[in-house]
A and B are shown apart, each in its own frame.
Chain A
Amino acid sequence: MAHDMDAARDELREDDGHLRDPRTGEFREETMIINMGPQHPSTHGVLRLLLELDGETVIRCKPIIGYLHTGIEKNTEYRTWMQGVTFVTRADYLSPFFNELGYCMAAERLLGIEVPERAQIIRVLVCELTRISSHLVWLATGGLELGAVSVMLYGFREREVILDIFEALTGLRMNHAYIRIGGVLMDLPDEGPRKIREFLDLMPRRIDEFDTLLSKNPIWLERNVGVGVMSAERCLELGVTGPVLRSAGVAADLRKDMPYSGYETYDFDVPVRTDADAYARYVLRLEEMRQSLRIVEQALERLEEVGGPIMVEDPKVRWPAKLTVGPDGIGNDEEYLRHIMEESMEALIHHFKIVTQGVSVPAGEVYQLVESPRGELGYYVNSQGDHRPYRVKIRDPSFVNLQAIPDMVEGSLVADTIAAIASLDPVMGGVDR
């Protein structure tokens, strides 16, 4: 992780030993090397940047990562397929459902099973709510980093409403492990649709408020316009996807390009800008929240019409236990517990077998892509026919996108570095995994 920048500095040196300022072309005598992070509050977790400065100008930037590495990929190799969900959901902790979805879809394709329609709709519903909540954290932390503390409060206030919905749906506010191989864990609770409708009524107004508060705010413009510029060509070379790529004029969105979970049947737009700066990404993310609201609304309407199971019927694949959200969180359904403990020995044996040994997945490999709030989230999953995954690789968009930081900030001011990172919206849980 650590890096010596003397060599890097030597590259910048001219023959006479002087340094050339990449912005002005002037020669300078001295530079300063500073560490930003890994604990600085505006590093989105534990990102460390090694900066070489000439006054206030960043001459060279080297991102150093790994401080949050928890071995999620290795862990999945020693657990059952079903247990893997509880690990991957913790990778990018601001968009847990996307991790669950990518992993489960990969496993489902290896198993060759079709997920019931109602479960597909619920998956789309929770994912789009997550996209909004993730963008709200980006807005809140990004605002805070640029000194807009009220934006931080508003962002987290709105996110709280979504987390309340998640708590009602899954029993948990994050790390839900709600999307499971074969479907989802539980159907929506009775108050679920009502809570989501209330949110749908509230949120458009709130997004308009952000718009009013920031879009023409001189300080917001000053800090964001023309900052962190990244051309489409360079984005594609570096593998940068998501809002950053779309801010450079490329309408790349996996929900449209390689649809999954029935996204091709929903009516929504992929907003695109061409300025390729931090402000364009801000405008895009606000618009993406509006588009996600449209999808949530359509999903809710469909749920009224589409009934049926929320998990595949095959008893060799489906999770045996019925779960409910109780007053103290998620737990086994009492009716189900009575059934396996008092009524049916066969049901108990079956439960024990599936829960402890899990499901064997046919040998093979798949690569499943989903469009996370930060871009292309890929799951390369390899099975050797065992009841545990042989290899799970998480292609996290934050990890790949972070490679763009030096390009974005070299030659700009230190203060702009903060705005540029914020516009990239990296989540270190996903970067380091």
Chain B
Amino acid sequence: MPVDDIAGRIRGSYPDVVVARGEVTVIVGRDELRDVLVWLREDPELQLGFLSCVTATDHPDADPRVWMVYEMRSMARRHRARVKVGLAEHDLHVPSVTDLFPTADWQEREVYDLFGVVFDGHPDLTRILLPDDWEGHPLRKTEELGGVNTRYHGAFIPPVDKRGMA
């Protein structure tokens, strides 16, 4: 299905649709997220039933601060669409979709681990890549990077963002 047709079809139900670089992005509110994912899955034209990827981006000085990204794909129709949900800094909560899409289980845990987004209703929201006693959420842009202490005259190798390179 051509991207413009996908976008047109979605726009009928969820008006905030953007087409860029051959990809369709639907922007919805947090309360609509579960509904839109189910709708995309059940719609006979779209059949976007495969949740390929759940991730996030962090924008410290902006509102919303965190954008949740859900990449949907239709195996039968051979097309894709993306759903995005913005989360305000003081309220980084989003409904879990693990009961609707079991594949979201680990992917939501990863976003929780690395970004600190809380998925309400997730059956086991624990860290997945980092140790349980890790402090902070390293993929947030505000996290401090670590450097390396050396044994040479107490020299310290600064983290990559403080080396004046790149």
Query: Which residues on A are within 8 Å of B, measured CB to CB?
Result: 1-3, 65-66, 69, 71, 73-75, 77-80, 83, 109-110, 112, 236-239, 250, 252, 257-258, 356, 358, 364-367, 369, 376, 378, 380, 382, 387-388, 390-391, 393, 395, 399-400, 402-403, 432-433
Contacts and interface: CB of A to CB of B under 8 A. Distances in A.
A73 B110 CA distance: 12
B90 to A, nearest CB: 22
A390 B57 contact: yes
Contacts of A238: 102-103
A346 B111 CA distance: 46
6 nearest A-B residue pairs (beta carbon): A239-B103, A395-B53, A393-B55, A66-B129, A69-B129, A78-B160
Nearest to B138: A74
B78 A257 contact: yes
B32 interface: no
A388 B102 contact: no
Contacts of B114: 73
B135 interface: no
Task: Specify the main secondary structure of chain A where it touches its partner.
Answer: mixed
A228 to B, nearest CB: 18
Contacts of A369: 52, 73, 80
Contacts of B73: 369
B155 interface: no
B123 to A, nearest CB: 11
Contact of A380 (B55, B132, B139): B55
A395 B71 contact: yes
Given A236-B50, A378-B71, 10 more contacts: A66-B128, A69-B130, A75-B160, A110-B21, A252-B75, A358-B166, A365-B23, A369-B73, A378-B52, A400-B106
A66 B57 contact: no
B86 interface: no
B12 to A, nearest CB: 23
Pick from B51, B102, B131, B145 the residue with the most CB of A within 10 Å: B102
Given A1-B127, A71-B138, A403 B166 contact: no
A395 B111 CA distance: 12
Given A74-B139, A391-B57, A236 B23 contact: no
B69 interface: yes
Contacts of A79: 160, 166
B105 interface: yes
B103 A367 contact: no
B20 interface: yes
A339 B126 CA distance: 56
Pick from A74, A258, A387 the residue with the most CB of B within 10 Å: A74
B161 A78 contact: yes
A388 B103 contact: no
5 contacts: A66-B127, A78-B161, A239-B50, A239-B103, A390-B57
Interface of B: 20-23, 25, 49-53, 55, 57-58, 69, 71, 73, 75, 78, 80, 82, 101-103, 105-107, 110, 114, 126-132, 138-139, 141, 145, 160-161, 165-166
Given A66-B129, A74-B139, A237-B101, A403 B106 contact: yes
A1 B131 contact: yes
Nearest to B78: A257
A432 B101 CA distance: 22
A1 B52 CA distance: 23
A109 B101 CA distance: 29
A197 B4 CA distance: 45
Given A1-B132, A3-B126, A66-B129, A367 B53 contact: yes
Given A236-B50, A388-B166, A382 B138 contact: no
Contact of A376 (B20, B52, B105): B52
A380 B71 contact: yes
Nearest to A393: B55
Contact of A78 (B20, B110, B166): B166
Contact of B103 (A110, A366, A403): A403
B81 to A, nearest CB: 10
Contact of A73 (B101, B105, B139, B145): B139
Given A250-B75, A403-B105, A367 B23 contact: yes
B21 A109 contact: yes
A391 B58 CA distance: 9
B100 to A, nearest CB: 10
A378 B75 contact: no
Contact of A65 (B21, B22, B128): B128
Contacts of A433: 129
B53 A380 contact: yes
B56 to A, nearest CB: 8
Contacts of A83: 166
A221 to B, nearest CB: 31
Pick from B22, B52, B58 the residue with the most CB of A within 10 Å: B52
B37 to A, nearest CB: 13
Contacts of A2: 132
Given A74-B138, A390-B57, A395 B166 contact: no
